Chains A and B, each alone.
Chain A
Amino acid sequence: MPKIEIKNFNLYYGNFHALKDISISIEEKRITAMIGPSGCGKSTLLRSINRINDTIEGVKTVGEINIEGINVYKNNIDVDFLRRNVGMVFQRPNPFPISIYENVAFGLRVNRIASSKEIIDEKVEKSLKSVLLWDNMKGKLHKSALTLTLEQQQRLCIARVIAVAPNIILLDEPCSSLDPVATRKIEELMMQLKDNYTIVIVTHNMQQAARISQDTAFMLLGKLIEFSKTDEIFTNPSEKETDDYVSGRFG
């Protein structure tokens, strides 16, 4: 069974038809990249998976997104639980204006995953280790997260997501505000995380998709044009639009 199965999914912002009849199956423990020019709907599709788009006024959806066989747009779904299971990292690093420690502990506390100090300490340490922040940060855990560099902030945001032990991690252009060195480090981190999580990443940067993903979806004007193995998309696309885009003729 695919981890995430999107079936005939449509999304409207008021009268604007932003996603048009999208169907796609995303496999477990792989990195799936979504590429396409600005405004093609790739971020909207990503943000539909954890229903964070619900917070925007005037959003309507038709169709299904199934995670492990359960439609998350069903009426009686627990959205908070869904979001805990489907973590998300945003385009601009958005650590909370509290300490580094509390940023990671936040998800543990609000989801009542852990309440005793020892367990929280342990999970914070583990999460920060898995994003390679622990060695630098262990003495500064109680400093404000806003004092970190952008790259460290983005790592912290990933640690914060990992702490609540999701199955799926969604990343919405996670490197767009980072320099090339920081970008490479975040990419290396994603490759490591792939073994334990299902990762879906939206990216503006075709080279990034080619470097890190196994599957790639190409979207254009709200439609899914092609979805296939990343190698296929970049070397032997079956659609003309995909070929034009990956070879740089537009976009």
Chain B
Amino acid sequence: MRKFLDYIIETVIFICGMLSIIFVVLIFSFLLKEGLSFFKDFSFIKFITNQFWYPNSKVPSFGILPLICGSVLVTLGACLIAVPIGVMSALFISEIAPKGVRDILKSLVELMAAIPSVVIGFVGMVTIVPLVKNIFNLPTGLSAFSGSIMLGFMAVPTIVTISEDAIRSVPWQYKEGALALGATNWQTLRRIVLKAAMPGIIAAIMLGIGRVIGETMAVMMITGNAAHVPHSIFDPVRTMTSTIATEMGETVRGGMHYKSLFAIGLVLFLITFIVNFIADLFLGKNKNL
């Protein structure tokens, strides 16, 4: 009887495990099928280098360069904001803050992660957007800059929580060893603790970037949705994700426009894959030292 129960549980666990793999493979193959079929009729190079995205005009032009630029610009901006703030906050929470403050801060940051992106979107729309417009004297505050700020906010909790875990799991003996050699607190933090926690911090940053790159709702509401190649961070931009989200509803299933959106999905997938790959390279390098 016990053996039988064991068998059933093992089977259930096996099926659940397989299901998650199958789902990923199915999604990926569907994306691949629809996306690749687009490239039969349209060259890949032209797709990513052409500057014009007019999928609905009489002579349609499928150039996603502006969308790639939009995504990259917003993501880079968000990283510039989120990485220093996130890592410093993690250091503060785990190493400097007194215990009472630490617990409060930690729960607040975790709460921040739970804010739905659409809420971040509309809060940004009524606060950051007019502020940016006034401060920089722009025709519109709906810009890559505003998007970066709001997405930065979204990435911070991810970066803080995971880096904080990494920093706190640095063995106490390392710190004790460094202090016993005459290092000051800051030298110990910078040269030993941060170094030892680096793989975890890089993983945290990558997950943060992952959240930013894939974010759709907030960027759709804040970045202005103009599909042209931006000249500065204060231009309105449109990202790949928001293009897919806004246009998928208007397409004819199986048509060129429909397929082109899948192709964008494929490019997006490629970009996240490259980001992860680079992160792995860093982590690997850190391991062998």
Q: Which A residues lie at the B interface, using CB under 8 A? A: 50, 52, 55, 80-81, 83-85, 87-88, 90, 92, 94-99, 106-107, 109-111, 142-144, 157, 160-161, 164
Contacts and interface: CB of A to CB of B under 8 A. Distances in A.
Contact of A90 (B173, B184, B196, B289): B173
B184 A110 contact: yes
Contacts of A161: 180-181
A88 B175 CA distance: 13
B181 to A, nearest CB: 4
B288 A110 contact: no
B195 A110 contact: no
A84 B181 contact: yes
Contacts of A144: 288-289
Contacts of B195: 96-98
A94 B191 contact: no
A88 B174 CA distance: 13
Interface in B132-188: 171, 173-184, 187
B179 A52 contact: yes
Given A81-B182, A110-B187, A111-B182, A157 B176 contact: no
13 contacts: A80-B182, A84-B182, A85-B182, A90-B173, A92-B173, A96-B178, A96-B192, A96-B196, A106-B178, A110-B182, A110-B184, A110-B191, A160-B181
A144 B289 CA distance: 6
Interface in B191-213: 191-192, 195-196
A98 B178 CA distance: 12
Given A50-B180, A84-B181, A90-B176, 18 more contacts: A52-B176, A55-B179, A80-B183, A83-B179, A83-B180, A94-B173, A94-B177, A95-B177, A96-B178, A96-B195, A96-B196, A98-B192, A99-B289, A106-B191, A109-B191, A111-B181, A160-B177, A164-B182
Nearest to B195: A98
Interface centre among B171, B177, B182 (most CB of A within 10 A): B182
Contacts of A143: 289
A92 B181 CA distance: 16
A230 to B, nearest CB: 26
B176 A55 contact: yes
Interface of B: 171, 173-184, 187, 191-192, 195-196, 288-289
Contacts of B180: 50, 52, 83, 87-88, 90, 161
Contact of A107 (B174, B176, B181): B181
A97 B196 contact: yes
Contacts of A84: 181-182
A189 to B, nearest CB: 18
Chain B at the A interface: SS class: helix
Contacts of B173: 90, 92, 94
B176 A83 contact: no
A167 to B, nearest CB: 13
B181 A90 contact: no
B178 A97 contact: no
Contacts of A97: 174, 195-196, 289
Nearest to A57: B99
B100 to A, nearest CB: 13
B289 A83 contact: no
Nearest to A80: B182
A52 B174 CA distance: 13
Given A97-B196, A99-B289, A144-B289, A83 B174 contact: no
Nearest to A88: B180
A67 to B, nearest CB: 14
| A-B pairs with lowest CB-CB distance, top 3 | A84-B182, A94-B173, A110-B183
Contacts of A106: 178, 181, 183, 191-192
A86 to B, nearest CB: 8
A95 B177 CA distance: 8
A83 B171 contact: no
Nearest to B286: A97
Interface centre among B176, B184, B288 (most CB of A within 10 A): B176
Contacts of A85: 182
A106 to B, nearest CB: 6
Nearest to A147: B289
Given A55-B179, A97-B195, A80 B184 contact: yes
A83 B177 contact: no
Contacts of B192: 96, 98, 106
B166 to A, nearest CB: 13
B195 to A, nearest CB: 6
A92 B173 CA distance: 8
Contacts of A94: 171, 173-174, 176-177
Nearest to A103: B177
Contacts of A55: 175-176, 179
A128 to B, nearest CB: 16
Contact of A83 (B175, B181, B191, B288): B181
Contacts of A80: 182-184
